[in-house]
Amino acid sequence: MTLELVCPAGTPSALRAAVEAGADAVYCGFRDETNARNFPGLNFSAEELHEGIRFAHRHGVRVLVAINTFMRAGIADAAADPWKIALACAEDAGADAVILADLAVLDHAATHHPGLRLHLSVQAAAATPEAIGFYAEAFGVKRVVLPRVLSVEEIAVLNQAIAVETEAFVFGGLCPMTEGRCALSSYATGRSPNLDGVCSPPEHVDYAQAPEGTTARLAGFAIDRFAPTQLAGYPTLCKGSFVAGGKTSHLFEDPVSLNAAGLVARLAKAGVTALKIEGRQRGKGYVAEVVRTFRAVVEAVETGRDPVEAERRLSSLVEGGRQTSGAYRKQWR
Amino acid sequence: MNRIGLTLGPLLFNWSAERLRGFYEGVARHSAFDRVHLGEVVCGKRMPFSDRVWPELIGMLEDAGKEVVLSTLALPATPRERRSVLEICRDGHLVEINDLTGLPVRTGLPFVVGPLVNVYSEGAARFLAARGAQTICMPVELSLASIGAIAAACRDVEIEVFAFGRLPLALSSRCYHARLHGLHKDSCQFVCERDPDGIDVETLEGQPFLAANGIQTLSHGVHAFCPTPAEAAAARIRRLRLSPHSTDMVIAGDIYRAVLDGVTTPAQALARLRELRLPGELVDGYARGAAGCSPAAP
Amino acid sequence: MTEREKGELPGFVRALTAPSRLLPLGLVLTLALRGLAKRRPALFDRLGEHARRSFVIEPSDMAFAFVMVPDGAHAEVRTVARGRAAGDVHVLGPLLALLGLLDGTFDGDALFFNRAITVSGRTDALLALRNAIEDAELRPSDLLGLEGRAGTLADASILRVVGTLQRLTGLQPDGMPS
């Protein structure tokens, strides 16, 4: 049993950090709306991807390219279609796989790039054996990144029923909503993960300072408020504080990060092939520390050594300073 | 040119069996809808209650000349939920898929693609059309321009647009009604039945924003897309979908029928909609390519 | 000793950096930035449209602020009196915390997660700048345009001084006041 550690790279320097810290594979995306972390200043040019892949391959590390948003309607000139360009660039650069979500992009890849290995992005939200089986049969998808809605028990049952590999998130930012099926961001701001590759985009973020504290607003909606001494959070819509039924609460999700380090052994037993770390928008310091820690976790699990104190080691890097095992434990629901 | 159809989408909220009967009796008797969706889309736990009601309602609506579409779950998770999706997809009625779970068994038979399935471009629409999609209700985020581009490229598919109701924005495996009431999803006591249009979610400054409905998050605002017949024809829209709410949906249907037939103007239609008892302000930003919460013209 | 915020410079260091002595600083930094753009254009490509925005960087422990437009070969830095600077985005914080962001000592997300730095205006422009800096792995020698042994020497001594000051003033590597 060997678990593959799949690590984030928002920039070439983060890619090098992940490779040096012990990643088995690194995932990244192009600097445009074709991937779900389309934030300003982030991601790779075609040239940077070529160079990054050369570097990773020299160290025996695979590179997976995320092209996981949904193709825009009404692109008249196929030669100028960013999603088609991205697929061609990824293949040309020698990507070991592409991570896709959209039926149109999958169909194009399967038809025009038969040599590319296809992974199904979490953004495709395929959570049942029937849906996963469909993607495998229709497009030859080899691996599915599991939606963050399944418990470990459900993953074990699922793996019995499907013929493709599964990849499960083990650390990082946590969407409480089913990814790829959330339009909260565009409702407030006009820009969404599916259409633009961004959630709660920074150009709509505003921090208003007042003596009693800071109010974080997204497109004018007060998403959260922080006392002067309290840690501030990035105003991601679903992690905000809201009022419903007369109660003020983090209705959708508390500002916490996923840390499933303690569940790695059970995920392995459930038949998971790869463990994924979230955080392409985070710095290389984060990438290096999280990858090193999970490399140690995986080694401890594989050799039956004492568990690594991952929660303690990573506590300073997580949002809100708090960690959860999310939907992997049924109580989360 | 064909008349634009009027669809009553699936009910997204947890209504009692009596309420369902009363509601659909009214729809059968004197509404402008030519197609009516039945079936639970949001939560599999509600199915044991509503499943008993659907057979009689199907007969009643069909007797009244309505075309009935059986809607399926958007996020089937348990073996029982998956079985129900597959069973419905084998049914002789027209079926709406709201997740790709049902697609393999339905391939080759005609089906409707619901707005919760991601069809954002011509390529995705063509792919599903080749497998039997007869009607595709576009994702709520799409602008009219994008919808027109897809419709122009896929003329053999009936393009439907979500035109009225709180916008279905997100799904989760977590139940927000249960969470709000300090309950666990598995022992939720069906608290969502208290809120026939979902429970309002406001910002810390008291600004109306969203609505929670079990595992679903909707907009607080009520989306109202009222095109002129010419606008609808230019975008090759063949159907408008109205999503059931506690307000008088028969009147809402009449208002849309009138605007689609050119009997009233969109401004008059919006004014008449505002006279209804709605759970939120009218919004229409998505159709214009803007933020979904943008208010509709006054 | 007068009361000062955690992370801010001690008075004697502030005295050394009084505004009158720093009048040509804007010019020096402008030239340094343009030199960097010539040597490493990719760093500025990453900024995209945000290269033409004006970033107001206000060290809370100094009497003046920097206004920077990081537009590659046309890059410009001006120093202006504090409170008088206008721009697309404002960043306010102790100089050493701001320097920590520049050299990557501090995790850039500290920008949002801690209160040592206050941000207002175009958050997207600042995010672009922080991501560009994050990828750049800048050393003091890059800004000074020094190469070889002189560069190595400058890096070692400047980083040592900054590091010492950061520890002295109670800033931790994650950018959080201890």
Q: Give me the tens of pLDDT residue by residue for chain B, a chain 298 residues long.
A: 579 999 999 999 999 999 999 999 999 999 999 999 999 999 999 999 899 999 999 999 999 999 999 999 999 999 999 999 999 999 989 999 999 999 999 999 999 999 999 999 999 999 999 999 999 999 999 999 999 999 999 999 999 999 999 999 999 999 999 999 999 888 899 999 999 999 999 999 999 999 999 999 999 999 999 999 999 999 999 999 999 999 999 999 999 999 999 999 999 999 999 999 999 999 999 999 999 999 998 8
A227 and A192 co-located in one domain: yes
> Number of folded domains in chain B?
1
Candidate from A215, A225, A331 with C-beta closest to B184: A331
At C101, list the tokens.
């962001």
pLDDT band at residue A323, thresholds of 50, 70 and 90?
Answer: confident
CA-based nearest residue in chain C for residue A42: C131
pLDDT band at residue A212, thresholds of 50, 70 and 90?
Answer: confident
Of the CA atoms within 13 Å of residue A273, those in its CB half-sphere come to: 16
pLDDT score, position C176:
35
A316 and A201 co-located in one domain: no
A125 and A74 co-located in one domain: yes
Question: Which of C73, C76, C66, C69 has the alpha carbon at shortest distance from C22?
Answer: C66
Q: What element of type H or E holds B35?
A: strand B35-38
Specify if A275 maps to a domain.
yes
Specify if B178 maps to a domain.
no
Tokens 């393009």 correspond to what residue? Answer: B159
pLDDT score, position C114:
60
CATH, residue C22: 3.30.1050.10
pLDDT score, position C6:
58
CA-based nearest residue in chain B for residue A137: B104
Select the residue from B169, B215, B286 to test the A interface by mutation, using most A Cβ atoms within 10 A.
B169
Q: Which chains touch A (3 or more CB pairs under 8 A)?
A: B, C
A104 and A188 co-located in one domain: no
Whether pLDDT at C23 is above 70:
no
A303 and A239 co-located in one domain: no
> Number of folded domains in chain C?
1
Q: Three-state SS string across A191-255, please?
A: CCHHHHCCCCCHHHEEEEEECCEEEEEECCEEEEEECCCCCCCCCCHHHCCEEECCEEECCCCCC
Residues 38-67 (B) with a CB less than 8 A from some CB of A? none
pLDDT band at residue C175, thresholds of 50, 70 and 90?
Answer: very low
The number of beta carbons lying within 10 Å of the beta carbon of residue B166 is 26
Cα A141 from Cα A37, distance rounded (Å): 22
pLDDT band at residue C1, thresholds of 50, 70 and 90?
Answer: very low
Cα A194 from Cα A192, distance rounded (Å): 6
Helix A103-112 vs helix A82-93: crossing angle, to nearest 10? 50
A215 and A237 co-located in one domain: yes
Min Cα distance C153 → chain A (Å) is 23
pLDDT score, position A8:
97
The number of beta carbons lying within 10 Å of the beta carbon of residue C13 is 16
CA-based nearest residue in chain A for residue C136: A13
At B283, list the tokens.
């919004």
> Number of folded domains in chain A?
2
Of the CA atoms within 13 Å of residue A1, those in its CB half-sphere come to: 18
What is the domain extent for residue C125? 11-168
Specify if B192 maps to a domain.
no
Q: Does the distance separating the beta carbons of B139 and A128 come in below 8 Å?
A: no
pLDDT score, position C151:
75
The number of residues making up chain A comes to 333
CA C76 to each of CA A152, C32, C66, C102: distance values in angstroms, whole numbers, following the listed order:
54, 10, 10, 17
pLDDT tens readout for residues C105-147: 566 565 555 667 788 889 899 889 888 988 888 777 776 677 7
List of residues 6+ apart from A19 with CB closer than 8 A: A26, A55, A56, A59, A61
What is the domain extent for residue A215? 184-249
Pairing label, strands B5-8, B35-38:
parallel
Choosing from A218, A249, A280, the residue where a domain stops is: A249
Q: Say which amino acid occupies B182.
A: G
As beta bridge partners, residue C79 has C66
Cα A183 from Cα B217, distance rounded (Å): 9
A151 and A203 co-located in one domain: no
Q: What is the mean pLDDT of residues A276-294?
A: 92
Q: Is-contact C7 C171, C-beta < 8 A?
A: yes
Q: What is the mean pLDDT of residues A26-33?
A: 97
A215 and A200 co-located in one domain: yes
Specify if A105 maps to a domain.
yes
pLDDT score, position C106:
60
Number of A–B residue contacts, CB under 8 Å? 206
- Decide if B145 touches A, using CB distance below 8 A: yes
Q: What element of type H or E holds B180?
A: helix B176-180
Whether pLDDT at C159 is above 80:
no
What is the domain extent for residue B77? 5-169+216-288
Task: Indicate the average pLDDT of chain C.
Answer: 76
Min Cα distance A183 → chain B (Å) is 5
As beta bridge partners, residue A249 has A242
pLDDT tens readout for residues A244-258: 999 999 999 987 889
Of the CA atoms within 13 Å of residue A195, those in its CB half-sphere come to: 26
Specify if A219 maps to a domain.
yes
A240 and A267 co-located in one domain: no
Q: Is-contact C98 C59, C-beta < 8 A?
A: yes
ipTM of the complex: 0.97
Chain A residues close to B209, C-beta within 8 Å? 188, 221, 242
Q: What is the mean pLDDT of residues A90-98?
A: 98
At C73, list the tokens.
């070969």
pLDDT tens readout for residues B186-218: 889 999 999 999 999 999 999 999 999 999 999
Cα A149 from Cα B215, distance rounded (Å): 11
Choosing from A229, A249, A269, the residue where a domain stops is: A249
Choosing from A216, A249, A282, the residue where a domain stops is: A249
CA B282 to each of CA B8, B168, B206, B296: distance values in angstroms, whole numbers, following the listed order:
18, 15, 18, 6
pLDDT band at residue C169, thresholds of 50, 70 and 90?
Answer: low
Cα C129 from Cα A41, distance rounded (Å): 7
Specify if B184 maps to a domain.
no
pLDDT score, position A234:
75
Chain C residues close to A202, C-beta within 8 Å? 123-124, 126-127
Cα B174 from Cα A231, distance rounded (Å): 26
pLDDT score, position A143:
98
Q: What element of type H or E holds B231?
A: helix B229-234
A211 and A318 co-located in one domain: no
Question: Which of A71, C112, A155, C166 has the alpha carbon at shortest distance from B127?
Answer: A71
Specify if A179 maps to a domain.
no
List of residues 6+ apart from C84 with CB closer than 8 A: C65
CATH, residue B83: 3.20.20.70
pLDDT score, position C75:
94
Task: Indicate the average pLDDT of chain A.
Answer: 93
Q: What element of type H or E holds A58?
A: helix A46-58
Cα C109 from Cα C127, distance rounded (Å): 9
Chain C residues close to A31, C-beta within 8 Å? 46
Specify if B194 maps to a domain.
no
pLDDT score, position C103:
63
The DSSP output letter for A151 is -
Cα B280 from Cα B268, distance rounded (Å): 18
A204 and A137 co-located in one domain: no
pLDDT tens readout for residues B59-94: 999 999 999 999 999 999 999 999 999 999 999 899
Q: Does the distance separating the beta carbons of B200 and A244 come in below 8 Å?
A: yes
CA-based nearest residue in chain A for residue C44: A41
Cα B85 from Cα B96, distance rounded (Å): 10
Least confident span in A28-32, B263-267, C36-40: C36-40
